Amino acid sequence: MVFGDSLSAGYGLTQNTGWVSLLEQKLEQQKLNYKVVNASISGETTAGGLYRIEQALAIHKPTIAIIELGANDGLRGLSLMATQSNLEGIVQTCKKHKAKILIIGMRLPPNYGRAYAEKFQNIFVKVAQHSKLPLVPFLLDGFAEQRELFQSDGFHPKVEAQPLIMKNVWEKLQPMLAK
List residues with catalytic annotation.
Answer: 6, 153, 156
Q: Tell me, what DSSP letter sits at residue 157?
A: B
Residues 114, 68, 144, CA angle at the centre, nearest 5°?
50
Would you report the helix, strand and coil content of the chain in percent, each value rounded to 5?
Answer: 50, 10, 40
Q: Tell me the C-alpha distance between 72 and 106, whole Å.
A: 10
Is residue 3 within 8 Å of 68, Cβ to Cβ?
A: yes
What is residue 101's three-state secondary structure?
A: strand
- Dmax (CA) of the chain: 45
Residues 76, 169, 3, CA angle at the centre, nearest 5°?
50
Q: Where are the alpha helices (DSSP H) in 61-113?
A: 71-75, 80-96
Please state at what angle helix 19-29 crosses helix 162-173, rounded to 10 degrees.
50
